[in-house]
Amino acid sequence: MESLPTVMVGGRIGPLHLVECLLAASLSGQAEENRRAVMNFLGGLVGYCTRNPLAVSAVTIALAAWGILEAFRMPAQVLPELTRTTVTIMAEAPGMAPEEVETLVVLPIENSVRGTSGTQRVRTESTAGLGLIFVEFGWGEDPYRARQLVQERLRSVEEEMPQGVSAQMGPITSLLGEIMLLGLTSNDPERSPLELRTLAERDLVRPLQALPGVAQVLAMGGGLAEYRIHALPDRMLAYGVTLNELIEASGMAQGNEVGGFLENDSSERMLRAIGRSSALSDFENTVIKMVDKRPILIRDVAEVVMAPRPMRGDATIESRRAVILGVQKQPDADVREVTSQVEKSLHALSLPSDVSTRILFRQADFVDHAVSNVVDALRDGSIMVAIILFLFLLRLRTTLIALVAIPLSFLLTLLYLRFTGGSVNVMTLGGLAVAAGMVVDDAIVLVENVYRRLRENDLRSNPAPATEIIIKSTGEVRGAIVQATVIIVATFAPLFGLGGMEGQLFRPLAEATVVSMLASFLVAITLGPALCRLLIARKGKAMGCEPWTAAKSAFVARKFLFGPALRWPAAVCFASMLLVLSAFSLFPTMGRSFLPGFNEGSAMISVTAPPGTSLDASREIGRVAEALVRKSPEVKSVGVRTGRAEDDEHVMPVSVSELDVEFHDEGRPQAEVLSEIRNRVGQLPGVALDVGRPIGHRIDHMLSGVEAPVAVKIFGDDLFELQRIAEQAAELLKQTHGLVDVRVESQTLVPQVQILPDPDRLRVHGLQVADVNHLAHAGFGGVKAGEVLDNLLSRDVVVRFHPEVRNDLSALGRTLVRAEGLPPVPLSSVATIRETLGPGLVSRENGRRRVVVSANVSGRDVSSATEEAESLLRQELDLPDGYSVHFEGQYESRQKATRDMLLMAGLVFLVVVGALSLHFRNGLLVLQSLLSVPAALSGGILAAWFSGQDASIATLVGLIAVAGIAARNVIMLLTRYQSLAHEDGMPFGNELILRGTAERVAPILMTALTAAFALVPLAFAGGASGKEILQPMSIVIIGGLVSSTFLSLVLTPAAYRLLGGERKT
């Protein structure tokens, strides 16, 4: 056997550098030398494969088998990983108000981490007893390195933290990390919500948390159990017991200690004091102190109960108290694999007969549905490609040779993705769908030319060896194939240059498309000649007339398209220009948006009650909203989460209820159902509503830190002034057509009770400010005195005043406070007690206080609605000095993405011009090749306009893609004109153009129709799950292919005739 040929480019040797060689041929300073080297290498490779068809076929089968095996092992998810590297710091600050948390805890941490290398934005949220700091890094930043850098900064500021404050980093999570919501309910009225939560913590949370791929399991509802010592101030006064004495005794009521080891000559034994207990009676009988030789017990001055920790959130299902578990996966974990592990663990559980679990949300369903939809579209498109090929070729063997490029190219692409850490998602599958009609192009051109040359050879009296004919005929089209492949790769280059979320989203699509095209090129020049040798090289296999479809299409095109065009070339060029300009004039009238909406099969509805609403009242509002949502027959299930779960990294006031809604597959369109729900729930008095999709909300949150497509951020210093500006901005936004669910961030002032100590009166009674603060913090807020280990679950022991004292505002002033050794005095005699308003939440961003007014968009595109709102606010908003307004969200992201894409497209245009110049070496031919670009773009714009699509990032991607696809046909046509003039010696004129165009009609139609029909299942998807982004892109590409194919068979011959071909150079 022959040795595999090699090529040296820049000192590197071998076929592994084929891609570099292709690019070097177009871009390097030694372009001509590298071009010859590449062509020599490809010529040797074709010869090798043609002479060794069985070896090439065996290697191909092995690669295909390997690709199939690896394809089933690849992880699957809805979208590529869209998580921006963010480190979350959670700072617990018991007893602190939001403003104190901001000043004493959040600010020192914020100032420290803002200088971390790679930091792009720092957001903070301060609420009662908790500060959250979100440190956002650039896209693609290593999350482990980012955490290490933040941890170093966090250590440096630990000494500045107030006593009792602890700060720690949250776990690594991803944008689409919440893969499942599990509901736990009981039909036994005797089982309390607290018992249900304890059961969930013990039997569900811990086992699920231990599963591979699970990052976190957050439980919400029922409350966390704690041992509560309810102090009774009147009894404490009667027995002479202080609050500090009660706290100290409660902490010493139980526990274990190790006394070391007892040793003798041959052994040792551990000495342990076992005093740990979980019985309430042991706490009740604990001695506080001795008075007149009589023990004063805890039960004498307090009640000991098992009670839920003060709740800032709760959950209900079907209006019943419940526990909802949110399962989050690790960023790189496979959704379906982790979901399967969770479900297996659930089936293995043995829960009490009255307790049942139900799945409220399962992301794997959306993954399966979305991936299945795109796979079906890919399959249907491939079938259409096969039918078109057979209709044009009408030869089973030649059709088979061309079609084999589809599965082989896809399998090679999946192998590449597998070993570069990629996954199967709707964008990579969309890239394969875009490539489905193009991967056969190289094989079509090669096989069609080989078949024609073999047929001509068979008709000769002294035919040449078939192997030589195959090698020679492959060489005739090799240059055009290489050039077309380089242009396709260059066309998709702008997508690799996109930054932000749009880059994360579309880069996998571009990568899959480009790798598929490179794989198809390799298949065409290796397996193509080998299969030609095996299947059609024998004498008689290529005999026969030209296929009827190809001949008829050439006849029809000559009679109605390029034939008439050559008679009136100037008129054709002028009419084409008018058509293109007319299409381009429609583009500014199209709506503009960032991304199409996702059809997830679920919705997230937020209902915000007025500030200061209690948890019980919010729970009732959530119950009423749930009943209203359930009136729609399409609703499958509803889970309600009110407030915030313990250890959750999102600050959510108790006045906010989130409804997780799942829909049936059948019924009315979900957009119609959501509009009905918005109108129905929006009738609730005094509530603000936000209706959206889970993935859509998370994407919006990743873009701007706000779960809405339109975010108006107001920056300033004074919270009261910020609130005034935000309320005014909200009223103005409500006047903007298309903006719905307008709401102000939950920094609204909430009711507070403030205790203001009087220094003079304190001094009279021998008291200090700390005595009053301690009374407020310990007596009313509660103080942790110890821990109890109960069935391997840690329970806090908390001392606080009895609820009858804590919740009675009139009793607050009568509460006694005293200094050591002095008689007690009522709190009202040493302090002023007043009711007022104060911030419930303080948000900051990049060092400044911030309030956000958010809105959804309905019945209008995001960009135009945002621009109108921005103009209105600029004219009407009363903005004092030192305050600023900034619009973020999808509008800002679309503007940035559009600028990046246009810049990259301009650079790529220069590369394409250079590549065409090297190929044609004629300025007029380069100009004529570029005429295909506006022709393709005009068809894409018309298709998008007539189908009602917005000018989204998906639409722009489609326009970029179709420009490169269309250029292939013109290159093919002009190359044939050159070949007839230079090799066959035909003079310039109508005959040359007619013959060259007629010979290329069939390949042009085949390549255009296969590329278009491969995308038809996506274009007519109707917004089905997984196809939301791919549908507008497919519509644009199909429209561009139709216009560019038509104009290439009309405009290109006319322009070539009008410009005089190559005569003027």
Q: DSSP characters for 440-505?
A: THHHHHHHHHHHHHHHHHHTSSSPPPHHHHHHHHHHHHHHHHHHHHHHHHHHTHHHHT--HHHHHH
Where helices occur in 765-846 by DSSP H, the ranges are 769-774, 803-806, 809-812
* Res. 58 pLDDT band, cuts 50 70 90: very high
The whole-number pLDDT of residue 148 equals 92
Section 19-43 average pLDDT: 59
Q: Are 233 and 804 in contact (CB under 8 A)?
A: no
Q: What is the pLDDT of residues 965-984, one digit of tens each?
A: 677 777 778 887 887 888 77
CB atoms within 10 A of CB 572: 23
pLDDT above 60 for 4? no
Indicate if the alpha-carbon torsion angle 1032, 1036, 1039, 1042 is positive or negative. negative
pLDDT above 70 for 132? yes
Choose among 154, 167, 178: nearest CA to 83.
Answer: 178
Tokens for 508? Answer: 């996998």
pLDDT above 80 for 539? no
Which pTM was predicted? 0.76
pLDDT above 70 for 488? yes
Indicate if the alpha-carbon torsion angle 139, 145, 149, 154 is positive or negative. positive
* Res. 11 pLDDT band, cuts 50 70 90: very low
Rounded-to-integer distance, Cα 893 and Cα 725, Å: 25
Section 891-906 average pLDDT: 76
Lowest-pLDDT range of 29-33, 175-179, 344-348, 944-948: 29-33
Section 235-260 average pLDDT: 84
pLDDT above 80 for 220? yes
pLDDT above 50 for 8? no
* Run of H or E residues at 870: helix 862-876
Rounded-to-integer distance, Cα 919 and Cα 486, Å: 11
* Run of H or E residues at 349: none
pLDDT above 50 for 537? yes
CB atoms within 10 A of CB 445: 27
User: What SS3 state is found at 844?
Assistant: strand
pLDDT: is 909 or 753 the higher one?
753
pLDDT above 70 for 211? yes
Rounded-to-integer distance, Cα 616 and Cα 312, Å: 10
In the chain, the amino acid numbered 901 is M
In the chain, the amino acid numbered 128 is A
Q: Are 600 and 660 in contact (CB under 8 A)?
A: no
pLDDT above 70 for 18? no
Q: Are 176 and 327 in contact (CB under 8 A)?
A: no
pLDDT above 60 for 10? no
pLDDT above 80 for 541? no
Rounded-to-integer distance, Cα 813 and Cα 83, Å: 51
Q: What is the pLDDT of residues 792-811, one digit of tens each?
A: 778 888 898 888 888 777 77
Residue ranges and CATH numbers for the domains of the chain are 1-48 (no CATH), 84-172 (3.30.70.1430), 225-256+281-308+751-839 (3.30.2090.10)
* Res. 32 pLDDT band, cuts 50 70 90: low
Q: DSSP characters for 923-974?
A: HHHHHHHHTHHHHHHHHHHHHHHHTT--B-HHHHHHHHHHHHHHHHHHHHHH
In the chain, the amino acid numbered 235 is R
**Mode of pairing for the β-strands spanning 355-362 and 831-839:** unpaired
Give residues with Cβ within 8 angstroms of 323, minimum separation 6: 183, 184, 185, 193, 196, 197, 200, 219, 220, 221, 222, 315
CA dihedral 311, 312, 315, 316 (to 10 degrees): 80
Rounded-to-integer distance, Cα 647 and Cα 356, Å: 25
Q: Are 702 and 83 in contact (CB under 8 A)?
A: yes
Section 482-506 average pLDDT: 78
- Report the Cα–Cα distance between both ends of the chain, in Å, rounded: 47
Q: DSSP characters for 629-651?
A: HTTSTTEEEEEEEEE--TT-SS-
pLDDT: is 154 or 964 the higher one?
154
Rounded-to-integer distance, Cα 795 and Cα 801, Å: 19
CA dihedral 178, 181, 182, 188 (to 10 degrees): 140
* Helices 1030-1048 & 953-982 angle (0-180, nearest 10): 30
Q: What is the pLDDT of residues 668-712, one digit of tens each?
A: 887 788 888 888 888 888 888 888 777 776 776 666 666 678 888
pLDDT above 50 for 223? yes
Q: What angle do CA 612, 614, 616 make, to 5 degrees?
A: 160
* Run of H or E residues at 606: strand 602-608
Q: Are 32 and 467 in contact (CB under 8 A)?
A: no
Lowest-pLDDT range of 219-228, 238-247, 455-464, 780-789: 455-464
b/e 592-620 (16+ beta carbons within 10 angstroms → b): bbbbbbbbbbbbbbbbbbebbbebeebbb
The whole-number pLDDT of residue 1061 equals 60
pLDDT above 60 for 12? no
Cα dist. 541→551, 638, 852 in Å? Answer: 19, 66, 73
Rounded-to-integer distance, Cα 479 and Cα 446, Å: 11
Q: What is the pLDDT of residues 364-393, one digit of tens each?
A: 887 887 778 778 888 888 888 888 888 877
Give residues with Cβ within 8 angstroms of 656, minimum separation 6: 606, 607, 608, 609, 618, 642, 643, 746
CB atoms within 10 A of CB 485: 23
Lowest-pLDDT range of 152-161, 448-457, 625-634: 448-457
Choose among 42, 50, 47: nearest CA to 18.
Answer: 42
pLDDT above 70 for 17? no
Burial class of residue 639 in the structure, from the number of CB atoms within 10 Å of its CB (0-12 exposed, 13-18 middle, 19+ buried): buried
β-pair partners for 358: 183
Share of the chain above pLDDT 70, in %: 92
Indicate if the alpha-carbon torsion angle 662, 664, 667, 669 is positive or negative. positive
Q: What is the pLDDT of residues 988-1020, one digit of tens each?
A: 888 888 888 887 787 788 878 888 888 888 888
The whole-number pLDDT of residue 34 equals 67
Give residues with Cβ within 8 angstroms of 491, minimum separation 6: 908, 912, 960, 961, 963, 964, 965, 967
Q: Are 966 and 940 in contact (CB under 8 A)?
A: no
Rounded-to-integer distance, Cα 430 and Cα 683, Å: 41
Q: Are 973 and 1052 in contact (CB under 8 A)?
A: yes
pLDDT above 50 for 1065? no
